[in-house]
């Protein structure tokens, strides 16, 4: 709580890394409920503009190195839940 947290995500792809590469981070609260997209990356980072993580998520990855990590600023206990990192690098998924 209170200290920036790094959510690590690494990937390997059999296809060359291009601008088509997509990274999506989704979140589901520990209490259950709807999955929500909290971060999207395609060529440039697109942090969420709504919801509980608005203005608190930053890109910490480097797709050229197979890293799709993000950081969350000022985490609170209610942020607890399941975070899923999904990477698509067409034609490789």
Supply the Cα-derived Rg of the chain in whole angstroms: 13
CA distance 72 to 62: 17
Q: Quote the distance between the C-alpha of residue 47 and its chain's center.
A: 9
pLDDT at position 64: 94
Looking only at Cα atoms, what is the longest distance across the chain?
40
Whole-model pTM: value is 0.93
Neighbours of 42 (CB within 10 A): 13
CA distance 48 to 31: 21
Residue 93 has pLDDT above 80, yes or no: no
Which tens digit of pLDDT belongs to each residue from 30-46? 988 899 999 999 999 99
- Going from the N-terminus, what domains does the chain have, and what CATH number goes with each? 4-88 (2.60.40.10)
Angle in degrees, CA 77, 79, 84, rounded to 5: 140
């Amino acid at each position: 709580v209170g200290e920036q947290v790094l959510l690590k995500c690494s990937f390997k792809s059999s296809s060359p890394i291009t601008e088509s590469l997509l990274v999506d981070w989704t979140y589901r609260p520990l209490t259950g409920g709807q999955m929500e997209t909290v971060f999207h990356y395609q060529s440039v980072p697109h942090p969420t503009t709504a919801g509980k993580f608005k203005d608190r998520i930053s890109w910490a990855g480097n797709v050229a190195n197979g890293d799709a990590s993000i950081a969350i600023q000022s985490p609170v206990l209610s942020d607890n839940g399941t975070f899923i990192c999904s990477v698509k690098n067409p034609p490789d998924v």
